[in-house]
Structure 1
Amino acid sequence: MTQTRLIAAACVVLAWLLLCLWAWRRARRHEAQQALALQALNAPAPEDTLLVAYASQTGYAESLAAQTADSLRAGGLNVRVASMDQLDLARLAAYRRMLFVVSTYGEGDPPDAAAAFAGQMQQAPGAGALKGAQYAVLALGDSEYAQFCGFGHRLNDWLHAQGAAPLFDLVEVDNDDAAALRHWQHHLGLLAGRSDLPDWEAPVYESWRLADRTLLNPHSQGGPCYLLTLTPPAEGPRPWQAGDIAEIGPRLERGGPLQPHREYSIASLPEDGAVQLLVRQMRGADGELGLGSGWLTHVAQAGDEIALRVRANRNFHAPADARPMILVGNGTGLAGLRALIKSRRAAGHRRNWLVFGERNAANDWFCREEINGWREDGTLERVDAVFSRDQGERRYVQHRLREQADEVRAWLDAGAAIYVCGSLQGMAGGVDAALQDILGAERLQALQHTGRYRRDVY
């Protein structure tokens, strides 16, 4: 009996020693990886290198940062990955583009590995150190905490205060929400210039049908733009709100396998009985149709099954109250604004100002009759349409906002919210710069923090 106990005890000790050896080797391997990463970080970076930085408490953010880097490298980009405990303002200033994947610990605190960097954030100069750089933040958190994604938001504000401009708006992830991660991947695909990056986790789609496809801009100087009507599955659609997103599973051919998803702003309400989308036909440098727009505007035919999943986009939902709204967008960005206007009309909230931009009034005034009807019945108090090619000097929505600076300030003084939908390149940055000039950076940031400045840009 004593010998049996001794053997058992020896086995326990041996298992403990093996566990210690495994932990020691793992720690040494991690230290070696960190040392190599720091060595690479200190080496001169090619000008086009993109930095992916992470702040992780449990390892999840580190894993997502690695997946992020892999997706970008698949698009041919030069990428460096670093933990935020290896970074300071001087190192960040060496990069023109930066992506951050950061967790929040407890009530808004940074992960332990980012504590030193968070301290530097409080001491660093207030403006200009990162002027000319671009960034994006994937903020991981738990909505059960009051300071949901608190560190991610603090980091986002700090980067903006240093003069950096957002590549796209902060993406919040509530407890590894797959839909939010797909939204992040959507932006990575745009950055990498790749429409075929595989989804990390494929959406679970419903089977909708293409009921109608109407060309909105015949003879336009730009790509053809279509209004698509998609009818729900037999069991009925899941409800959605104005501002939500349709995730589409495109196909290269009718009946072919699903390809990586695409995202489109929904232009209708559930009460309309269908999901409507505004989709512009996109072509690559080789003349080939884009994956998503090619499927929806050319390959799929009336009656064909469309794999669709509605994704909630809480940041772009309409205000619940009757506060005034300034709705700004260009091109197919009218889709998200159209749904918001419909929602406001249904609620009887009529103080709405639409600022819309496109190429030519004759060919690109999307949904013109509908918008004129809303203006006549009082749904829209004001409509400003800007057409960039209708005069010698190019004019865009941001120019109209600057011209109407006093009116913009008056609406905001009356409690208005600003919603922006459309292209990230050009329009979104131009509108943001115009609003900063009109209101000042501090007031604009305050509007963002209180939910009165919201964007759905792509």
Structure 2
Amino acid sequence: MRLPSLSWMKRICLALTLLCLASFFLPSPAQKQCSTALVAISYLSFCLQTLRRHKDELATQHHGFSAELNQANAQNVLIAYASQTGFAEQIAVKTAQHLQDAGMNVAVSSLAAIKAEILSKTSRILFILSTTGEGDAPDNAASFTRLLMSQKIDLSHLHFAVLALGDRHYQQFCAFAHRVDLWLKHQQAHSLFDMIEVDNGDEAALRHWQHYLGLLSGHTEMADWSKPAYQEWILTERELLNPGSLGGPAYRIACIPARDAGSGEYIWQAGDIAEIGPDYPTKNTSEERPALPHREYSISSLPADGKLELLVRQMRRPDGSLGIGSGWLTAHAEIGQSIKLRIRENRNFHTPSQDHPLILIGNGTGLAGLRAHIKARAARGHLRNWLFFGERSEAHDFFHRQEIQDWQACGVLSKLNLCFSRDQAERRYVQHALQEQQADIVAWVEQGAAILVCGSLQGMAEEVHQTLSNLLGLDKLEQMAESGLYKRDVY
């Protein structure tokens, strides 16, 4: 007989009932043996049920984190995890601890406990999702997948982020997390930042997640979960790019390896990231101080340039003191001094291998990541490149002006749109230029163009994403993202 679709506990109860009925037809000795077995099985099922209840309680209450948030609050964050081996659960607890230490109200829950009514009352949620086998959801995510993701729910109030855990040896890398991310966007939820993929527990990707947690909480000085394996570089150049600007000073920073540059660890591609290990402004050998957290910057040069260049905005705290990373690179470190630096591959911002036309969109220091891509395209002879760049003032904030004008003159940039927001009475940003160029943008995309966006997450990236959705259609933009033709490096 085939049992209907029942939970394992209901199956045990049904089996016990059938066994009890059958025992009435057995001889007395057999009845006694059967009764003994029934007592043992009943006790076992009770223990299993108790254990399962205990696990469910643990799944929604970790190390002092509550299972729910009682009221809507800007400081509230729900963390939901789907874990097969326990790794996603561990990262969820670390994430919660990080945010709680920053003063935020945090709840941690297994994905199995997330229902539609919870999402309807939640304003911010972080998903930490494993993928098992060939793109499957973990066992504890089955109900979420079957019951919730089959529904159409208005989540336009919800802001979310996804940390995807997987293994690139499998063809469907992080597939479950991608399905959840896509479903949330189809429900009109808003991403706090782009999905971060973690290959086999990659510590660099987890530090990237922690970097965004710092931005989310407003506390960027938390200690790193794991210390990067830095290499030694030498700071060789520091050039102020915007003298007289009303904005914060922006510097071109150049470094070279401290030892033989023939090593593979000094090779990078356009789109990759430099992890910097800042140091304290002054040395004090009598006092042992904790290592400062790493900082991340888009690399704006190529290995062929003979140096690694960054474009760094000098940041100041409310008390006037300099930021940890920007202060170290733009003021405290001396020319010729050793710098701790690690190159991190950033596949999510590499261009497609084919010669697609390329639309590059950025503002401020986001020009760094776009500059490296234009250099790489020029070196390969790919000339269909279109740059949209925005800053405050053309007179003071046109970073790398001569280089960009030279690219335009020699045909590396076939189209160039500049937006300087303070040069006219009405503020003008890159999204306005995109709207004005709708016909040509649509034509380029129809011809297979890829789109790269680099710069500030708050404001620019959100507005650009919404504008592109309006110009191309949300389905088309998501289709481009899935095929690697729409990529962002935003911070």
The answer, yes or no, to whether TM exceeds 0.5 is yes
Rate the CA distance shift 1:25–1:208 in 2: closer, same or farther, 3 A.
Answer: farther
The answer to whether 1:50 aligns with 2:77 is yes
Q: Which moved more, 1:426-435 or 1:253-262?
A: 253-262
Residue 175 of structure 2 corresponds to residue 147 of structure 1: no
Which structure would you say has the larger Rg?
2
Structure 1, 311-320 or 149-158: larger mean CA deviation: 311-320
Look up the SS of the partner of 1:123 in the other structure: coil
Q: Per-residue CA shift, 1:6-28, capped at 9, x if unaligned?
A: xxxxxxxxxxxxxxxx9999766
1:406, distance to aligned residue in structure 2 (A): 0.6
- Change in 2 beyond 3 A, CA 1:229/1:34: closer
Kept after mapping to 2: 8 A contact 1:138/1:170: yes
Change in CA separation of 1:196 and 1:23 when aligned onto 2, cut-off 3 Å: farther
Taking the aligned partners of 1:417 and 1:187, their CA distance within structure 2 comes to 25
Deviations 1:200-221 (Å, cap 9, x if unpaired)? 1110000001101000000101
1:248 aligned partner, one-letter code: I
| 1:158-173 superposed matches below 5 A | 158-173=183-198
Q: Contact (CA 8 Å) 1:250, 1:261: kept in 2 or not? A: yes
Aligned to 2:143: 116
SS at match of 2:68: helix
Alignment of 1:4-153 (within 5 A): 29-34=54-59, 40-41=67-68, 43-46=70-73, 48-125=75-152, 129-153=154-178
Q: Is the 8 A contact 1:254 1:300 kept in 2?
A: no
2:392 to 359, 364, 368: 359
Give the drift of 1:393.
Answer: 1.2
* Matched letter for residue 419 of structure 1: L
Q: Which residue of 2 aligns with 1:243?
A: 271
1:39, distance to aligned residue in structure 2 (A): 7.9
Matched letter for residue 159 of structure 2: Q
Which among 466, 470, 476 is matched to residue 437 of structure 1? 470
Q: Which runs of 5+ in 2 are unaligned?
A: 1-46, 285-289
Identify the residue that residue 425 of structure 1 maps to in structure 2: 458
Counterpart CA distance in 1 for 2:451 and 2:459 is 18
For residues 191 and 249 of structure 2, the distance between their equivalents in structure 1, rounded to whole angstroms, comes to: 29
With normalisation by structure 1, the TM-score equals 0.92
Distance 1:28 1:119 in 2: 22
**Cα distance in 1, alignment partners of residues 344 and 353 from structure 2:** 20
CA contact (8 A) 2:72 2:123 kept: no
Indicate yes or no: 2:395 matched with 1:348.
Answer: no
Distance 2:384 2:357 in 1: 5
CA contact (8 A) 2:360 2:370 kept: yes
- Equivalent pair of 1:47/1:95 in contact (CA under 8 Å): no
Number of residue pairs aligned between Structure 1 and Structure 2: 437
Judged with a 3 Å threshold, the aligned counterparts in structure 2 of structure 1 residues 254 and 92 are, in CA distance, closer, same or farther, namely same
Distance in 1 between residues matched to 2:322 and 2:101, nearest whole Å? 21
Contact 2:69/2:106 (8 A) holds in 1: no
Give the distance between the partners of 1:153 and 1:185, measured in 2 at CA: 20
Aligned counterpart, 1:451: 484
- Does the 8 Å CA contact 1:98/1:135 hold for their aligned counterparts? yes
| Separation in 1, partners of 2:489, 2:66 | 38
CA deviation vs aligned residue, 1:116-158 (integer Å, no higher than 9, x gap): 1011344211xx6110321100000011111100000001001
Aligned residues of 1:318 and 1:343 also touching (Cα < 8 A): no
Matched, 1:156 2:181: yes
Quote the offset at 1:89 in angstroms. Answer: 2.0
Give the partner amino acid of 1:262: R
Give the alignment's TM-score, normalised by structure 2.
0.86
Which residue of the partner structure matches residue 25 of structure 2? none
2:42 is matched with none
Within-5 A mapping of 1:310-321 = 310-321=343-354
Change beyond 3 A, Cα 1:232–1:254: farther
Q: Is the 8 A contact 2:78 2:107 kept in 1?
A: yes
> Distance in 1 between the 2:395 and 2:80 partners?
47
Unaligned segments of structure 1, at least 5 residues: 1-21
**Secondary structure of 2:266's aligned partner:** coil
Give the whole-Å Cα distance in 2 for the aligned partners of 1:358 and 1:115.
47
Do the aligned partners of 2:357 and 2:450 also contact (CA within 8 Å) in 1? yes
SS at match of 1:221: coil
The whole-number CA distance in structure 2 between the counterparts of 1:434 and 1:283 is 31
CA displacement, residues 75-98 of structure 1 (integer Å, 9 cap, x when unaligned): 111111111100112211211111
Where does 1:226-241 land on structure 2 (aligned, <5 Å)? 226-236=251-261, 238-241=266-269
Calculate the aligned-residue CA RMSD, in Å: 2.1
User: Is this contact kept in 2: 1:48–1:96, CA < 8 A?
Assistant: no
Distance 1:36 1:345, change over 3 A: closer
Q: Secondary structure at the match of 2:274?
A: strand
Deviations 1:139-179 (A, max 9, x none): 00011111100000001001111111111000001100111
- 2:43 matched residue in structure 1: none
Deviation at 1:255, TM superposition (A): 4.5
